[in-house]
Structure 1
Amino acid sequence: MAQTRIAVVGSGIAGLTAGWLMSKKHHVTLLEKGPSLGMAQHGVDAGTAQGDKVVDVPLRVFNKSYYPNLFLLCQNLNIDLRMVDHGGAFGYLNGDLYFRYENIAIGGKNYSYVLPKMKQLPWLLKVGWEILRLRRDMKEFLERDDCDEVRLAKFFEDFKYSRAFQYEFFFPILSSVCTCSYSALMEYPAGILIHGMQTLMETTPTQRFIGGTRALQANLAKSIQNVRYDSHVVRIEPSPKGAVVHYRDGVQEEYDHVILATQANQAREVLDVSYEEERSLLERIIYQTSDMIVHRDERLMPGPARKWSPVYYGISSQYDWPMATIWINKVEPGFEEGEPLFQTWNPLIPPDEDKVLGRTTFERPVVSLDSLKAVNRLANLQKDSLDKRHIWFCGSYGTPAIPLLESGLVSAVQLGEHFGVAKPSWFVEPSR
């Protein structure tokens, strides 16, 4: 494909990766509706002993097992990473802890261990053996031909896991990873979540960007020929030579190709009605809304400070979601000293507003058997119409995986091949 003019709408991980790749062979204009790049747009300034530093919202941590391409991308861009402790504690909203595990790093690997307190023994005796057999059962399940054709509920039914195991261990972890409700988890294709949990339980260490996501987005954006902010796209329609982008201020621009690297629901909103099938497929990708706060309210991290874990999962039978609090001082480079700082997803306990530094409401896609079919159909549509298509799609929703940074990156790399841009030499094809 000869060099063409490409507009990429959206500057999350998918848009930045698409722009970074396409700019190697084409002229790219990256369009962001906000005042700064989207990947780190919700960061919050927080005071430290060394002055104000930015806390990523949401905080991004990852391991090489589930995020192989993100890890290799960072290596390629010379972005330094740091191993962080991501041990966890589980408790009820009254502050009582019922389970806790810690991590120890040995030889570049991360090993979890449990030192239960006397009052935590009843829960561990009830559920501990299920945790021990989980690894074996997940391996057996993923070898089944139908693992992606049944809901997660089928896994628990077939392997006879207790309600306590599901709602007091498995669900709080994956609900926090997927930022969705327990009900939404139960609708997930089982293979996707079981594979995710399997990699979370591996010994690959959890890592964090030094410099936060701003370091990654800056390195991706610097090679893109034209980055424009405050560019609010309201409609994209086909034209005889490509596609026309309509902006909120009435301006129009024509490009040879437009890549919609936004959320699926946002892509549908701006896509011309002539793309009837694409709009119908995008509508089947469902989103859930939740809140994230950065704060200094210690009530959301129960117990004395000397016993805090890096991550605390708070649960209640009254809610279909957990509350997950991260102790920023423990996991974020540059925040080790100073007043305790936390980030809480889905706060079930109202925080003291005087101690809240920032609050963000965001949407995340949730995967179901139906949305997975829609994603696969959309991928085939793009593949089967290479010669006549001028409007394209990529995003974290665009691969058969948990919608995280890795899936957004993979979606963009796979799209690049349609534009004659080879996959990077380091790229690892998804294992599933």
Structure 2
Amino acid sequence: MKKKIAIIGSGISGLTAGFELSKKYEIHIYEKNSYLGGHTHTHKITENNKKYYIDSGFIVFNNKTYPNFINLLKKLNVNSENTSMSFSVNYPFEDFEWSGKNLKSIIFKNKNFFSIKFLKIIIGIIKFNFIAKMNKKSFLKIKIDTFLKKFNFSEEFKKYYLYPMCASIWSNPINKIKNYKTHFLIEFFINHGLVNLFFRPQWKVVKLGSNKYIEKIIRLSDIKFFLNNNVKSIKTSNDQIKIKNKNKLINYDYLIFANHANEISKILPNNFKKQKKILSLVDYQTNDACLHTDSSLMPKNKYNWSSWNFIKAKDDTARLTYWMNYLQNLKCKKNYFVTLNSNNLINKNKIIKKIKYSHPVFKHNKEYTYKKLQEIQGLKNIYYCGAWCGYGFHEDGVVSAKKITNCLL
């Protein structure tokens, strides 16, 4: 008789762990939402009797920094296609916008190209890339805001490039980005080729929507899924874990937490004090996301329309709009967008779907968080994984899950 494993959370980590372990164990996955996937969230849109699949959460990956996720796609026989990654910054109340989509948008279609402001941005990018490649250990502990002041980076570089870029990558407000550790941020930029002006990695999207890999996992495994099942507590006794499912307690031999760190802390019993303290190393930022067709949140100059489009509000909110037609190679008449934290600015008649996502806010570098997590892995037959164990992306979710499956196989 197979031993039983409960997995809480059906994001990339929970699904990877469940898929890898399902041949040896009986797997039950508990998901609080009405759909599987967590941040993998694909919406079916019909236009002129043709179906399009648009992602609102996880969208892009690349060959260089997502090797384990790509191996998973290959194992599942899921196809991908190339996409173009570009970034624009828009300060509408200053009448200043620019895009790094291509030389045409940077030079010929950018009215700010010959301004002192834009020159300082370019100088700052070159300077930052050069210093980042030095990757000195002295960068380890200081906050990015302190680092930028120490090396006399211009306000223009910070305001119109680095902080908008980081706020967009991690879906966090700029005041929180300023507290990120320099080494964490620089390591991410180096690994993702962001410190190179040329020879950046080729970005990709899952063909016909990211949920294609979820469909394959369901089809190729015998995992039992329990949707709309928000586990609020567990009980442990004699190396057994008890979980309530529809007013019935079910015994499990192992439990894998694959949800957010703050959610795990609430589920654990009060006597798990060390676990709760370690899980508190990661905070979370809740973001409103909206799938819509309102182009008013895009740059005024259409030549500046990019994959990612940052608009600075007068408050500190990171307002980011993804141009889904460009990202997912959609051949349709309407333009589709996913925008964060701007629901009140979007034409209500053009809204397709509103969603809430939580994104991690990192207070420490990933090595420190991982090291502390090893102190509690496997205690009382309970394991912890999630994208929050790394940089917060799909590759990190797969890697954290595989580390656990290696212990249990």
Structure 2 length as normaliser, TM-score? Answer: 0.90
What residue number does 1:196 align with?
188
What residue number does 2:407 align with?
418
- Tell me which of 295, 300, 306 is aligned to 1:298: 295
- Are residues 93 and 304 of structure 1, via their aligned partners in 2, closer, same or farther at CA, if it must alter by over 3 Å? closer
What residue number does 1:404 align with?
393
2:3 is aligned with 1:4? yes
Contact 2:43 2:55 in 1 (8 A): yes
SS at match of 1:222: helix
2:244 is aligned with 1:252? no
- Are residues 306 and 101 of structure 1, via their aligned partners in 2, closer, same or farther at CA, if it must alter by over 3 Å? closer
- Tell me which of 157, 168, 178 is aligned to 1:176: 168
2:154 is aligned with 1:162? yes
* 1:30-429 pair list within 5 angstroms: 30-39=29-38, 42-94=41-93, 96-103=95-102, 115=108, 117-122=110-115, 123-140=117-134, 142=135, 144-198=136-190, 199-201=192-194, 202=196, 203-230=200-227, 231-247=229-245, 249-303=246-300, 305=302, 308-316=305-313, 318-333=314-329, 335-347=330-342, 350-369=345-364, 373=368, 375-382=370-377, 386=378, 389-399=380-390, 402-420=391-409
Contact 1:235 1:245 in 2 (8 A): yes
Residues in 1 aligned to 2:389 and 2:358: alpha-carbon distance in whole angstroms: 16
CA-to-aligned-CA distance 1:284-310 (integer Å, 9 cap, x gap): 321111111111112111325465333
Deviation at 1:338, TM superposition (A): 1.1
- Are residues 103 and 212 of structure 1, via their aligned partners in 2, closer, same or farther at CA, if it must alter by over 3 Å? farther
SS at match of 1:18: helix
SS at match of 1:47: strand
Greater displacement, 150-159 / 365-374: 365-374
- Are residues 113 and 77 of structure 1, via their aligned partners in 2, closer, same or farther at CA, if it must alter by over 3 Å? farther
- Are residues 48 and 259 of structure 1, via their aligned partners in 2, closer, same or farther at CA, if it must alter by over 3 Å? same
CA-to-aligned-CA distance 1:323-349 (integer Å, 9 cap, x gap): 21122111214x222112111122287
Residues in 1 aligned to 2:129 and 2:34: alpha-carbon distance in whole angstroms: 45
Residues in 1 aligned to 2:129 and 2:301: alpha-carbon distance in whole angstroms: 33
CA-to-aligned-CA distance 1:96-127 (integer Å, 9 cap, x gap): 343221249xxxxxxx9755634332132222
Contact 1:66 1:200 in 2 (8 A): no
Residues in 2 aligned to 1:97 and 1:88: alpha-carbon distance in whole angstroms: 14
Residues in 2 aligned to 1:396 and 1:67: alpha-carbon distance in whole angstroms: 12
Residues in 1 aligned to 2:327 and 2:289: alpha-carbon distance in whole angstroms: 17
Residues in 1 aligned to 2:179 and 2:19: alpha-carbon distance in whole angstroms: 35
Contact 2:37 2:211 in 1 (8 A): no
Residues in 2 aligned to 1:113 and 1:253: alpha-carbon distance in whole angstroms: 60
Deviation at 1:19, TM superposition (A): 0.6
Residues in 1 aligned to 2:339 and 2:81: alpha-carbon distance in whole angstroms: 22
Deviation at 1:372, TM superposition (A): 6.9
Contact 1:97 1:120 in 2 (8 A): no
User: Amino acid of the residue matched to residue 165 of structure 1?
Assistant: F
Deviation at 1:168, TM superposition (A): 1.0
What residue number does 1:425 align with?
none
Contact 2:142 2:181 in 1 (8 A): yes
CA-to-aligned-CA distance 1:243-267 (integer Å, 9 cap, x gap): 11123x3211001001011111111
What residue number does 1:109 align with?
none
- Are residues 80 and 371 of structure 1, via their aligned partners in 2, closer, same or farther at CA, if it must alter by over 3 Å? closer
Contact 2:10 2:38 in 1 (8 A): yes
Residues in 1 aligned to 2:40 and 2:204: alpha-carbon distance in whole angstroms: 21
Deviation at 1:374, TM superposition (A): 5.0
Deviation at 1:40, TM superposition (A): 6.0
User: Amino acid of the residue matched to residue 74 of structure 2?
Assistant: Q
CA-to-aligned-CA distance 1:143-199 (integer Å, 9 cap, x gap): x23433332223313322112111210111111110111121122222221122232
Contact 2:27 2:223 in 1 (8 A): yes
Greater displacement, 163-172 / 24-33: 24-33
Residues in 2 aligned to 1:371 and 1:69: alpha-carbon distance in whole angstroms: 18
Contact 2:325 2:331 in 1 (8 A): yes
User: Amino acid of the residue matched to residue 232 of structure 2?
Assistant: V
Contact 1:395 1:407 in 2 (8 A): yes
Contact 1:242 1:254 in 2 (8 A): yes
Deviation at 1:42, TM superposition (A): 4.4
Residues in 2 aligned to 1:95 and 1:311: alpha-carbon distance in whole angstroms: 20
Contact 1:284 1:371 in 2 (8 A): no
- Are residues 238 and 26 of structure 1, via their aligned partners in 2, closer, same or farther at CA, if it must alter by over 3 Å? same
Instruction: For structure 1, list consecutive stretches of 5 or more residues without a partner in the other structure.
Output: 105-111, 421-432
